[in-house]
Amino acid sequence: MVNQPLLLALDQGTSSSRAAIFNIKGELLMSASAPLSIQYPHDGWVEQNPKAIWESQFHAMAKLEKLLPAAKKNAIVTCGITNQRETTVLWRRSNGEPCGPAIVWQDGRTTDICSRWKNEGLEKEWRDRTGLLLDPYFSASKAQWLLENESEAKQALEDKDLCFGTIESWLLWQLTGGKRHCSDMSNASRTLLMDLKTRQWVEPFCDNIGLSPDALPELVPCRGDFGVIEKGHPFAGVAINALLGDQQAATLGQLCLRKGEAKCTYGTGAFLVINTQNQICHSESGLLSTLGWTDEKGLPTYCLEGSLFNAGTVVQWLRDGLGLIKKAEEINALAEEVESSEGVMFVPAFTGWGTPHWDPQARGLIIGLTRNTTRGHIARAALEGIALSVASLVDLAEQALNSHLKELAVDGGAAASNPLLQAQANSTGLSIRRPSNLESTAKGVALLAGLQAGVIEDIEKLALEREQNARMFYPEIDSLKRNRWRDKWDTALNRSLHWHDA
């Protein structure tokens, strides 16, 4: 029997790297992962070792290759790469050596740089052209910080030997043995350096940060021929046909193909993304306009996005910081020990606040504690804090679109939590749809690679056949109770935002 074509997806995330194999229906067949450490050298600083990022992805690939029966290896026809976005790496073109740490998307060390840009009156042009705000979240200020503070980066720039890239660029460089230095348009749209409408690098913006245009990666569509995996690597010889930022990949993996269809991914952070098709939808309330994905010619699908920096980190903190639980999944049983949080509010702003406030100095808080507060109340309040954060984004998205969302598709590790998703339904008034497979990010880039390789004809058909065994969560409270709950949340959030003013 002839083997059916298989799709390889490499999913490089903030806390781990995954490698997964899908069939052409988008069904997950097997996967493997490897952990990735994160360093916090100062308050608000978040960084990783670029070599460790690559080693983590390599190990995940090697583990998966060992799991795969030998007879199936030749069936893998294509590979797609999806990645944590905005995280920035500088390296030498001549030898591939990093010029400093990878500054992670959550990092807030560049607050002063962004404030300086704003004071110089640059924000309107940058926002008009890129769809983004001048915030430490995005790659441009991270690159400037590295150029100003890492001597090796300065020297590489002087030597005309510098490569700039986000994580898909760094992985592609490694996978192809330094043959390809590319950035796809979905990831490039998160750097503050790509014009969202023309889909070209804006060289004057590069001048603002001191980055030479010859350090920029080749700007490519999300689908194409990006080389093959080099000999000596797991899955050597497999063609690389798709590059896609993780949140865009999850949107595609959830088959949100029509205008107004939305998903939320609960990973390290929480990210609401709504398909706006071929229209760039601008928001005046802090949501971001971004490129979702392109076809092989570079024709785009755009999205509207709300970004929160902390979701899964809340559960990790309860486990590792407080020792409240031993395993992440224990939070669900603990939260279900109580019927409500009894007025306790948990604002998850460990590394600042994203949409809509864009305040890198905000910090987390727990408020409403009494002598009767138990571990269960704190656990439930933590999950509700994630849901209430996302509910605020849903409101803003509906205002920007001038229409109501009907349903929210969810994925990511924390989406396995029933109490979280029930809180999400209650806080938004929306139906919440959870697929049986939460690997939507890897699935999305696998489907895109399959389209480019010609083994998938039309993902619209997959959307029509969307699985019927998804778990649905529906609101269980009325609008009056919801509004009171949301008002109390707003009060807690405002205290989090203004703690540094005291």
Average pLDDT over residues 469-498: 90
Give the range among 129-138, 164-173, 180-189, 441-450 with minimum mean pLDDT. 129-138
Over pLDDT 90: what percentage of the chain?
A: 71
SS (H, E, C) 251-314: HHHCCCCCCCCEEEEECCCEEEEEEEECCCCCCCCCCEEEEEEECCCCCEEEEEEEEECCCHHH
Mean pLDDT of 453-465: 83
Separation CA 305–CA 35 (nearest Å):
27
* CATH number for the domain running over 255-434+470-502: 3.30.420.40
Q: Are strands 47-48 and 28-35 parallel, antiparallel or unpaired?
A: unpaired
The span from the CA of 458 to the CA of 468, in Å, is 19
Summarize pLDDT for 321-337 with one digit per residue, the tens: 888 888 888 889 989 99
Residue 452 scores a pLDDT above 50:
yes
Delimiting residues of CATH 3.30.420.40 domain(s) in the chain: 6-245, 255-434+470-502
Q: What average pLDDT does this structure show over 131-139?
A: 91
The pLDDT of residue 283 is 80
- Of the pLDDT bands very low, low, confident and very high (cuts 50, 70, 90), residue 500 is low
Give the pLDDT of residue 2.
54
Burial of 213 (0-12, 13-18, 19+ CB in 10 A): exposed
pLDDT band at 91; cut points 50, 70, 90: very high
d(C-alpha 248, C-alpha 178), whole Å = 26
119: pLDDT strictly greater than 70: yes
Is residue 39 within 8 Å of 48, Cβ to Cβ? yes
Give the Å distances, CA to CA, from 27 to 62, 108, 467.
21, 38, 10
What DSSP string describes 104-163? PTT--TTHHHHHHHHHTT-HHHHHHHHS--S-TTSHHHHHHHHHHH-HHHHHHHHTT-EE
Per-residue pLDDT tens over the stretch 358-416: 888 888 899 999 999 999 999 999 999 999 999 999 999 998 888 899 899 999 888 99
d(CA 9, CA 24): 12
The predicted model gives 119-142 an average pLDDT of: 92
- Report the alpha-carbon distance of residue 400 to residue 304 in Å, rounded: 9
Calpha distance 54→46 (Å, rounded): 17
**Which residues lie closer than 8 Å to 394 by C-beta, 6 or more apart?**
272, 405, 408, 428, 430
Check: CB of residue 305 under 8 Å from CB of residue 247.
Answer: yes
Cα distance between residue 305 and residue 276, in whole Å: 10
Q: Tell the CATH topology of 6-245.
A: Nucleotidyltransferase; domain 5 (3.30.420)
Examine the pLDDT at 356 and tell me if it is beyond 90: no
Q: Which two tokens stand for residue 482?
A: 């919801």
Q: At what angle do helices 440-453 and 246-253 cross, to 10 degrees?
A: 80
Q: What pLDDT score was predicted for residue 282? A: 85
* Close Cβ partners of 175 (under 8 Å, ≥ 6 residues apart): 81, 227, 229, 230, 233, 240
* DSSP 8-state secondary structure symbol assigned to residue 415: G
Picking from 287, 76, 290, 98, the residue whose alpha carbon sits closest to that of residue 190 is 290
Is pLDDT above 70 for 295? yes
179-193: pLDDT as tens digits: 999 999 999 999 999
pLDDT of residue 1: 41
Q: Are 449 and 241 in contact (CB under 8 A)?
A: yes
Question: Tens digits of per-residue pLDDT, 4-42?
Answer: 899 999 999 998 999 999 999 888 999 999 999 999 999
Mean pLDDT within 308-320: 88
Q: How far is CA 326 from the centre of its chain?
A: 26
Mean of the per-residue pLDDT values for the chain?
92
Q: Is the pLDDT of residue 466 over 80?
A: no
Rounded CA-CA distance 412/314 in Å is 14
> Which pLDDT score is estimated for 371?
93
Residue 355 pLDDT = 87
pLDDT score recorded for residue 464: 72
pLDDT at position 358 is: 83
**Beta-strand relationship, 407-411 and 431-434:** parallel
Distance in angstroms (rounded) separating the CA atoms of residues 343 and 457: 52
Instruction: Give, in degrees to the nearest 5, the angle at Cα 417 between 413 and 423.
Output: 120
Q: What pLDDT shows up at residue 18?
A: 96
448 with 293: CB under 8 angstroms? yes
